[in-house]
Structure 1
Amino acid sequence: MLARLIGETTNIRLGAGGVMLPNHAPLLIAEQFGMLNAMAPGRIDLGLGRPPGTDMATAAALRRHKHANDNFGEQVDELLGFLRADFPSGHPYQHVHAVPGPWQNVENRVPAAGLSPEEWILGSSTFSIHLAAELGRPYAFALQFGDADAVSALRLYREQFQPSEVLAEPYALVSLGVVAHDDPHEAALQARTAGMAMLRMFKRESYSLLPPEEVANYPATLNERHVLDVYDKRFVNGTGATVAAALDRLYEQTQADEIMLVTMGSSRAVHVRTIELIAQHYQLGVGVNS
């Protein structure tokens, strides 16, 4: 998807938020994102997460063993070593090179700034906060997945942040699920479809965004209704002004450097309308093409 988007864009940053690193070999990710960055230098973001990102049976199929995420910090260090070709002397991978590497087209094979993707640490756990701060990397906090305390998380990240060669000061992003619509009732129905998709995943069914009428007619059990109600509250929905007010409150509480919208809904038109309404509210432009 990122490779396709590179061919369709010229200026905006493109990224994956994210790659659940325990599901992959770090060398493989280094080569994939090194190639993407070679095609769009300085425009690629690489978000790195620790959770399985799926149910445990699927995680086992991906990871082959159940303790894959126990050494996430080591996996991140290994990935950064491949991306920057700077393993210390004596490291077992000292002479293993990701291709394309940071030295490609650089005289004397000396890495230069901007020749690697920008790495972000993702999550909402104390572990990921400590790791992002220790590595001096930007941190992305995902509110669409849980009800963790974003205010305390970002404060802890800023307090513990250690400057690095890529980031002098802490830089944090908060993401959350949103549906904006001209009709607030329709926005609520569309948010419910996203909750149903999560419920289906919990039930070991496919993650599918069903039509709102099908979700409304679903004979949910008491426990299932509870799950749906939780996600109704978690995904911000309403008119453009209502959603924007929630975004303003989130900024006031967290002072996040960026707020990312994870658009929800059962159709592309619903996603597009969300973006249009928020853009109009903040006078960022009104047209959304592709």
Structure 2
Amino acid sequence: MTDAIRGEVRGTAPVPLSVLDLVTVGSGRTATQALATSVGLSRLAERRGFHRHWVAEHHSMPGVASSSPAVILAHLAAHTRRIRLGSGGVMLPNHAPLVIAEQFGTLEALAPGRVDLGLGRAPGTDGATAAALRRTATLNEGADDFPEQLAELTRFLDDDFPDGHPYSRIHAVPGPVQGPTGRPPIWLLGSSGFSARLAGLLGLPFAFAHHFSARNTIPALDLYRESFRPSEVLDSPYALIAVSAFAADEAAEARRHTLAGALAMLQLRRGRPGLLPSPEEAEAYDYSPAEREFVESWMADVVYGTSEEVRVGLDDLRKRTGADELMINGRGHGGEAQLRSFELIADAYDFPELP
């Protein structure tokens, strides 16, 4: 399974580069258009040699149309041939482990050997929405039970509950015995130390959310590496970090799109998530001093500019963190700008045009 995790380095990139997709819906646009952009992005990523394309689970956010990763991944699988596809991630506390095992067993049957199952312990939404998803009054129950839920999911995926277990006669179908590639590799996702330590103890690959928890990145990666125990999956740690990055032909244009993303984050932090503002809306917004401070602070953790400036920023981040892979979250208001950003990044690293 190690080969399914460690990717091939393309062009002059020091580590594999991948795509994190939030299926962003910009103001004046629709979810249908955002999903079409995701298909175009997946095709571009495959053609230019990005290693994987992950979709993140979010709920009750009008500007993020990725509430159903398994559905989107099935659609992307039908439009691609080589690129790895996965969840970045599925929020395990929101779902019964058997349901996830069935969904990703189905995806593995649709796209054998190129599906990743990234799992998070956060709800990916606010408390009320989490309660509606889980149908329970105890909102912290799912996160607190994450290790037990993970163990149950793994047994469903491997179809190996021991005799006498209440679930020993239950099978997640399609499952490993019905396909040549077994089950999808499991990744643990996190923005703090809990999942970092757990991933290390279990010998699993770890993906860290640097794009919204940059100050915790190095401590979490250190904890992961210190906690790591070799397993059947990995003989040494493998850490991926997700980073917000946006390239444009002109640095000023990249900054305009990054400012729009910062305004969207400001609205989210205030409990008023909406569609991604256009660059024009972001520039026209009347920021208070505190709001201006917030957006500038958020933008400081984004790598943006011309293709060469983005390359320098990504290379510096990799050196500082020692990450084994960089996964780029490049939110743009329109599909054209978003696709252009990834094309420019591929050009900056001399990625080849693959057939």
Q: What TM-score, normalized by structure 2, do the two folds share? A: 0.75
Identity %: 48
Match of 2:328 among 258, 261, 267: 261
- Which residue matches 2:195? 128
| DSSP 3-state at the match of 2:272 | coil
Contact 1:192-1:231 at 8 Å conserved across structures: no
After superposition, residues 185-204 of structure 1 pair within 5 angstroms as 185-204=252-271
Question: Structure 1 residues 202, 60: closer, same or farther in 2, change over 3 A?
Answer: farther
Q: Residue type matched to 2:162 in 1? A: P
Counterpart residue number, 2:295: 228
Matched, 1:118 2:185: yes
- Work out the CA distance in 2 between the residues paired with 1:207 and 1:286: 36
Q: CA RMSD in A?
A: 1.9
**1:286 Cα deviation from its structure 2 partner:** 6.4
Counterpart position of 1:88: 162
- State the Cα distance separating 1:166 from its structure 2 match: 2.0
Residue in structure 2 matched with residue 109 of structure 1 by the alignment: none
Tell me, in whole angstroms, the C-alpha distance in 2 between the residues paired with 1:230 and 1:22.
31
**Alignment match of 1:101 (pick from 163, 172, 175):** 175
Deviations, residues 128-148 of structure 1 (Å, cap 9, x unaligned) = 011101111100011111123
Give the structure 2 partner of residue 166 of structure 1.
233
* Deviations 1:254-283 (CA, angstroms, capped at 9, x unpaired): 222111111122111111121111111110
C-alpha deviations, 1:148-176, integer Å up to 9, x for none? 34233223212221122222221111110
> Number of matched residues?
281
CA contact (8 A) 2:257 2:279 kept: yes
The match for 2:282 among 204, 215, 235 is 215
Moved more, 6-15 or 156-165: 156-165
| 1:57 Cα deviation from its structure 2 partner | 2.3
Task: Letter of the 1:99 partner, please give it.
Answer: V
Instruction: Flag the 1:255–1:147 CA change in 2: closer, same or farther, 3 A.
Output: closer
Partner SS state of residue 148, structure 1: helix
Q: How big is the shift at 1:43?
A: 0.3
Deviates more, 1:154-163 or 1:74-83: 154-163
CA drift of 1:198 comes to 1.7
TM alignment of 1:246-257, pairs within 5 A: 246-257=313-324
Counterpart in the other structure of 1:143: 210
Greater displacement, 22-31 / 190-199 = 190-199
Q: Distance in 2 between matches of 1:279 and 1:170?
A: 26
Counterpart-to-counterpart distance in 2, 1:91 and 1:162 = 28
Instruction: Report what 1:276 is aligned to.
Output: 343
SS at 2:215 equivalent: coil
The whole-number CA distance in structure 2 between the counterparts of 1:5 and 1:264 is 18
Mark the runs of 5 or more structure 1 residues left unpaired by the alignment. Answer: 106-111
Q: Supply the AA of the counterpart residue of 1:49.
A: G
Deviations along 1:26-68, one digit per CA (max 9) or x if unpaired, are 1111100000001111100111001121222222222333122
One-letter identity of the residue aligned with 1:97: H
Counterpart of 1:192 in 2: which secondary structure? helix
How far residue 229 of structure 1 moved from its aligned partner, in angstroms, is 2.0
Q: Is the 8 A contact 1:180 1:240 kept in 2?
A: yes
Cα distance in structure 2, aligned partners of 1:55 and 1:192: 24
Residue 8 of structure 1, aligned match among 67, 73, 79: 79
Cα distance in structure 2, aligned partners of 1:286 and 1:210:
33
Query: Does residue 77 of the first structure (1) align with residue 151 of the second (2)?
Result: yes
Residue 217 of structure 1 deviates from its aligned partner by: 1.4
**Could you give the per-residue CA deviations for residues 204-249 of structure 1, whole angstroms, max 9, x where no partner exists?**
3334111111111122334333332222112211111111111111
Consecutive unaligned residues of structure 2, counting only runs of 5 or more, are 1-71
Residue of structure 1 in register with 2:139 after alignment: 66
